[in-house]
Amino acid sequence: MTEPCCIVVGASHAGGQLAVSLRQQGWEGRILVIGDEPFLPYNRPPLSKTFLSGEKHIEDLLIRPEAQYEKVGIDFLLGQRVTAIDRNNKTVTLSKGETFAYDKLALTTGARVRPLAIAGSELKGVLYLRDISDVEHIRQFIGKGKKAVIVGGGYIGLETAAMLRKLGLQVTVLEAAERILKRVTAPQVSEFYTRVHREEGVQLETGVEIQGFVGQDRVEQVQCGDGTVYPADLVIIGIGVIPNTELAQAAGLAVENGIKVNDFCQTSDPDITAAGDCTNHFNGFYQRNLRLESVQNAMEQAKVAAAALCDKPIQYNALPWFWSEQYDIKLQIAGLSTDYDDLVIRGDHSDGRKFSAFYLKQGRVIAVDAINSPQDFMFGKQIITQKLLVDKVSLSDPGVSLKDFLKK
């Protein structure tokens, strides 16, 4: 009798964790992880930071060394792409035509960059930053005094801008909205990061419409709708990502802004789970469906998905949290600030580099942005999960102990 096989499609954060969690949950059959990159699962957040700068190498990014996977009998097939799922025959087909049979299947296909399809986007030096190969391409265009233009004032764009400034490049950030980080933060947080980046020498422009990129063989200029031209030796586009759901959709699984999963990370096929950036799940804290792009969500969903595949269901109910590192600033975010109706600033966002923004809805904290304030971050996580009403005056006063606040 052939041993049961679980195939994990995607050697991502979620994919690597899911495979390990399968063993921890008692899966005794074969585990095969198939990934389209030639690398074992690796940490992506350092890509725009220490890996881009050359401080860390590929080996430093690996979430686990190869020996740890070998020890628990996890197989990898890297540098190959799954092109089809046959749910009736329980097989997956690879790009080279090879097929593999599965008993259980997990989709951890992640997301890909959202392209900017405008004139000149095919020029050399117009790049994106999502994986190791992207960074290796970017490095070819880096040099002190060179001019870099970042398209997009979100976290990935700002993190990249910070690192390129550290490497001695002249950096311009162009954002289409009237402020950076508009989609994810309050105006005060946007103002803080605008000030910091300008203090660090970044030219930051908002309300910009980009018309195209100009150059002979490689990019030389960025042209904007108002006639402004920015010289560029390098352009990095960071305008969001698209979940990789095509494989699931072609297989007939439910898809809606991500692969739809239930509280146990099961898809519409009970033998197939999904985890990570590619999924859309119902979040109990916010009482709505979400698709999250975060390491924390990927790892926690992976554990839940593995448990479901082993018939040991665990309900997923984790509070979302994120982080961003720029210059000497560590931002820690707990919760989601969407639909907040009140804001409490603890500290001074107009001076220095330490404060917190607490987002409230109907008197309760639903999210916190803690800038160089780890205690505020931990406090925020507690008060959100406990759904406590807060005294805004005390919360805004840095002189009031957060421990005392919790006791009250």
Closest CA relative to residue 348, chosen from 243, 195, 158, 157: 195
C-alpha distances out from residue 269 to 31, 107, 244, Å: 19, 12, 18
* pLDDT value of residue 405: 67
- 3 state SS of 18: helix
% helix / strand / coil in the chain, to the nearest 5?
Answer: 25, 30, 45
The HSE-up count of residue 292 (CA atoms within 13 Å, CB side) is 29
- What is the C-alpha to C-alpha distance for residues 109 and 107, in angstroms, rounded to an integer? 6
What predicted TM-score, i.e. pTM, was given to this entire model?
0.94
Contact residues for 171 (Cβ-Cβ < 8 A; gap 6+): 148, 149, 150, 161, 164, 165, 201, 202, 203
Q: What topology is assigned to 5-111+243-309 in CATH?
A: FAD/NAD(P)-binding domain (3.50.50)
Q: What topology is assigned to 328-407 in CATH?
A: Enolase-like; domain 1 (3.30.390)
What is the architecture, at CATH level 2, of domain 126-237?
3-Layer(bba) Sandwich (3.50)
C-alpha distances out from residue 212 to 122, 237, 238, Å: 11, 12, 15
Neighbours of 11 (CB within 10 A): 25
Residues of the chain with pLDDT under 70: 1, 405-408
- 3 state SS of 344: strand
* pLDDT value of residue 387: 86
Judge whether 126-237 and 328-407 match in fold.
no
- Joined together, the tokens standing for residue 162 give 């910070």
- Joined together, the tokens standing for residue 355 give 């404060």
CB 193 within 8 A of CB 181: yes
* pLDDT value of residue 407: 59
- The structural domains of the chain, with segments of one domain joined by +, span 5-111+243-309, 126-237, 328-407
- Joined together, the tokens standing for residue 110 give 């992640």
- 3 state SS of 246: helix
Rounded to 10°, the helix 295-309/13-24 angle is 40
